[in-house]
Structure 1
Amino acid sequence: MIGGDDVYKVIVAMVPLYVALMLGYGSVKWWKVFTAEQCDAINRLVCYFTLPLFTVEFTAHVDPFQMNYPFIAADVISKVIIVVVLAFWAKCTSKGSYCWSITSFSLCTLTNSLVVGVPLIKAMYGPTAVDLVVQSSVFQAIIWLTILLFILEFRRSSAGLITPSSSSSNSGNRVVVDDQSKDLEESSNEISVEESSRPKFWTLMRAVWLKLAMNPNAYACIIGLVWAFVANRWHLEMPSIVEGSILIMSRAGTGTAMFSMGIFMALQEKLIACGTSLTVIGMVLKFIAGPAAMAIGCIAVGLHGDAALPQSITSFIFAKEYGLHADVLSTAVIFGMLVSLPVLIAYYAILEYVN
């Protein structure tokens, strides 16, 4: 059972994150240290330098030969369920939206496993369960965040290849698509694009792959995993000069991501940037829909239950960089970490009672 000391350990892990968040918020809202352009530069620093090196650092230290593959299979099944449901919603319902499906996938499936998950799971189930959390984080970085990055880059490239001149001949408007501030779907409602003006598939894919090749997030986890295989197969240690070079930036990954989120909050008119209704929907997706899908996945492979963790900070950084519902993701991160402790304790008590 979770005791006071265990709760304190979780609080110790979470408070520094909010210190970084408040420093970012205050630097813009109260002290006027950064301009809006400088804030964008800070987010790009986090997206292209600190987070990729953070990913390399924790991925390189896993043991791929000791992974719990039934647990990974359950995780895959749960995410496939979410993808199928969201795809059906976007395609077959009047209120369906592919852009909101991307955001909903992030809310349901991408978790802040390392920062909050490790101390919580260790308190609930012991050191053995911590290995599962780390494995889940590695698999999330390798597969799901990479897929998310591909989809976001595909969306941005699609908008970029639809030129205002080609669309204006069909609609009569001089409409400019700004993919950093508007959803692609909303933009497409304003312009009419015929088949002669839509970007060819292979032209679009070439643009996407070129962009991904220049984005270190696309291959950071692959580099880390390759080293993990080599190191564990032949019992090698990473040269200290290489490890030191990675650590000097990776240690700042989580802190700078929270700082960037605080800056983003300060630039919004309201503290809860996305509004009350979207906040409630986000929390339902995170703490009900996500765990329900994971429970189904666990049952399918013969494992016992799981709990919900707060929103992945990386998903917010990607949303901010690619201009897709960053307000919703930032709110999910903040409220997710605030309510994660009582929610997880409630899940733990329920699972203990059921078992």
Structure 2
Amino acid sequence: LAQGTGEDVWVSGMDPLQTLYAIDWETGSVLLVEASDPVGVLVKRHPFFYSAQYEAATHVILISLAKFCEGLGFGHHGLDGMRDGNHRLVLVHSVGRCGSTLITRAFEAAKDPQVLAFSEPDVFTQVASSVLAGIMDETEAVRLLASVLRWFSLQADGRYCVLKLRSLEILELAMRASPGSRHIVVIRPLEPWLLSWVRVLAVARDIPVDEFDWFDSASSYHARISRYHHLLISEKPTEHNVIQFWSRRWLSLMTSFRLALNDSELIRTTQSRIYLTSYEALMMKPKEGMVRLFSFCGLRSWDPATLNNVITEDSQKGTGLSSLRQSWDTHRESNALTEKVRAEIGQVLQDSDDIMKAMLDGARFGCN
């Protein structure tokens, strides 16, 4: 790739061939990717935006974080003007394995008004990881997220901007960084969520699901324990086995969502709109569910044939997860956790149903 600094040539970040790839908070630098395709084409090249950027990059441009923020029309230490246009900014948050990529594909098909949908821009993962690692505090994270969200909104150029995030715990921070924005939160009960993950992990290792060892060490996963893990567990992350890690990962994600949804002052001061739904609700009546999501965002729904095509297609086609899914038929799939596994996480399982019920009581949180 051709490399260089962009201090002299980058002005406002609205070159449709340039997209935001990464931010290094510690060095105060921003990495942009330049591709031969404009952003409106790039987002459709791959189900995940970070992969599309990686595959299509022709140049990388390094600029300072200060220059980046200045070019967006406000300083590094201020959020002035961020409310304007945020009603067209939609963030999709989820616990993972619950259809959020499908939601992104549905938004991509919108025609009136048009939508620019980004699935998993990696820069949000970097912000969440930096907060977890103590590299930046929450105030710094909010200011940085404001800059990042401003970038994506301006690049949408008047269209609705939909950002589907990975399973990250930044709902509260994103609400503070984007006053007036809309947030879709998708959740799923613990047991089917765990089974969905074990199928991915087992097939990736080319073993039958029934033979997957939930009791292996989870040291390779411990960096993904959230900033809320200290509220939930006392032992060090490296001491977790796989089932402990994933169950607590779910609990931690749900905790982050509940804290934001329960904070009526946060919702009031940020004027955020939140739509809470579940994987089961979407899959039971997908067409009705998608129409409600569109209505929540102020978008018109589209013709039944287009909607049906989006719902029935593989939303992750071309990815490793899609390839794994095609292999599931050759593996035996468990429909329930074993008694040994259930005993290992008994308390979390007992609490999970109550957590789901409370979360889905939308009126309690003032959600749509």
Category of TM-score, reference length = shorter chain: under 0.3
Higher strand share: 2
Higher helix share: 1
